[in-house]
Structure 1
């Protein structure tokens, strides 16, 4: 490494840096030395204070605990080893002082009782100091004792009143003291300073340790200072010298003229900042002259830029107009529904952009149909070789006119676009490129409109077919949401909403969970299911999953067909067949059994009159009872099998029902049953015998009474007009046990009963069903949501009441 010259900037910097670090080191090390000395003094002072506090603790214990206890135990004796605070504190501190302890404790006095603890010259000097300075409670400092430097901490001992017992008059002191020590240690006056607690700590060992630590600190500090000096030197080289060299190299690359080279040599041979400043002033002058030449070059460049900018501005305006034209064409495409609308919207835009006097489009594949702007202008005459122009599309210029092929591609040209400008205003080559792009864009737009028009027509045809289907149809997405629904599905939705609390077709028939419902996961597969609602309506639900396409959501078509009437007709047919067969059997049985039962009953009554004795009478009564019960069953069979109900007579059902309810109310009251009758219509009549109505309502009331609970029973009878064309409605409602859904389809079968043996023949509901069938009406049974059963009977209404 080359050493810097003495007068160089680098040499000056390094020299001043070393001097600065030396001065800072002297100041810092001096401060550290004095700090360590102060710390050493604080350390030995603290240790001496700890020793005195130990002495205080021992003396306080003797004075407050041990001595009073000894006086209590031995009031007439004085035990020196247990009652003298000075003796005990000396003994404790002597035992606590080991050979390697670094302190000396002495409790001394003038005229001490024990000569060993008589104050020496140093101690007497300190006692004299305390006598002269009564406000001083402690003295600490360094003293040379026996050639050693010792840190001393001393405090005065005042003979207070409690001390005079042992150190006052000899006559007043305990005899044990005089007997052991003689006349020494007495005649001290109260509050006199005749003694002292002395703690001495030799400081040589602490000083040696402190000096060793200080030497280590000096070495470490010097190493750190050298390291910092080295780092600052490297930083100076990096920040200052390297930058100077970089600046010189930049000058060398950028200045090639004679004056610049001379200035560069001057800068390179100087290391001082002053020389650099002088060189920079010369460089500044050179740069100023260079700047003047650059300004001239800049003025010429600005003029060229302005010219080019104006040219680009004109091109930019043209491109902006072209872009606006394309945007407006897209807007016209968006609002156009067919090709004529598109061309009527686009031709004025082309005329505005290219300053046209006439524009026309000729569709060569539709009988040369044309669209011309402005309205009323004549279409142009096609060129003789226009077919060749369609097969090999290109622009055809002629003075101020141009023919532009229009098509989505070169192989699919639909027509020709004719544009005409005012005379002597030909089209440029740049405009030709734009017209080619416009022709291609308009061709694509026309094709899209044709495709869209075809899709819309097909969509409209599908919508008409979809709406015209009489059965409900729905289009669902994968989640089960309705996308489309025809009119029949909407009507079905309104009907179900009235019966099911605003539930949709989807909730009732398609996506309901449970035995008769279809989940959304089943919608994408072909499935046919039958769904029966709570109101008895039955539906066949067919779901067809549409073929999935890639990246498209699955769709499902659901077709619903109601078969409620079909099932009712089938059920009525089967029930009629049952009734017919059982009726014939019942008529034969009734005829064959009725006569023998009559004879048996006659002879039983004769026997009852002829025989005496209560036992015989009781047995005959049982026979007669069962005979009459059998005759009742036969009567039901005859009623079941009798000919058709007469419809010649007109009956106001409300009046008949109210009469029967009035008679039955007494029987209901005995069982604690609430029986009510409501009549919403007054004069609606039905062609039926009153006895038939009485038989029907009586059977229904008896069945309801048998099903009621023991307490809180309720029977409600309502006569109202039926919904739609169903005629008059008679409803009997109870809050009993209801009807088991499993047997609900069989309750109108002959001989079907849920009552105990000998408590029902099973013909009551079958007879009612037969009556309603012959009258042309219907009877329906269902369970009440709150509990109980509901029977709805619909009677055909007569036209008017005969006088």
Structure 2
């Protein structure tokens, strides 16, 4: 008799040896659930592995990016742990010292410092009230010393925000000094350019002012030359022995009587024109741009009137300028410098209203308790709120390239400050810009 093997699990049989179909179905369901769970776990493991590989790739790319940035930075960079041992350096430091990066890793930073530098006491350096920049020299791989380096120090924090070491950054002092000297030279050139621009505006106004009296003197001298020729011809005839009839005829034809009557007026007018030229030259000497000399007491109203007159002459017809000045407005300071400030503000106002047919500028001054206030305002487009805080910054300008250096208001602000006053910018009731100069009175 052949052996019969029942394919159903033996555990599906009860203790009596009979087959239990319900138990077999439950066991089959359990096995299916176990297999499904194993597949889920395996699928999760695969997903986690793919995600981990992607994160590792991203970390490697980030590390390469950071290393490339650190290598491109021209400043030297040194990262140390809490004991002052080097953990990382950039290419700039390697090029400075000549050491290989592998020779620097875990090496105490103090070993690289030149003799006489002493222990930097790096962590106390961070909290020093004397400032963080230190000038140091490093040892080179060839046994010599590097050029001086200006180092700054900062704390490096770990992922918990706790101190994990220090970060040192620096640049060779020679490079810093060269950059500083280049900056000073450029700044001096720009300031000189602004002064020359102010001088050009002044010359334009003065040239117009000088033109009138000089033209008057030139015309009078031309008339005197013709009169001189008439009188010479008349005297030559008399001295030549002409008779009375000839003399009277010549006197009438040469208009000798009219000439003699006109001479006093011509000479007086010529003297007046020459005096006007002398007054303008004297004003120019007084309005020197030099900051030297002691402060003097002068009438600010007179300086304002001259500045307005010369500015209007230089840009004639651009705008109507309304003046409201008291009879006397004494202040103490340098009249030439204040003239420069006022001319600059009026020139700016003229530029602001140049596109308007009804351009108007108002200049008003008054004496207040212990001080003097001068207001220059226009009906131009005004100062936008987003640049109101920048108008006195050096090199800031809204004018096209080549039309302004961005130093006029900055220099003006410094001049008023040096005179113990203030220069403020705002919006005028006329709708344009409003600049207010406040200065202490002469007796303050």
Normalised by the size of structure 1, how large is the TM-score? 0.20
Q: Please identify the structure whose Cα radius of gyration is greater.
A: 1
By relative contact order (CA 8 Å, sep 6+), the higher-ranking structure is: 2
TM-score, normalised to structure 2, is 0.36
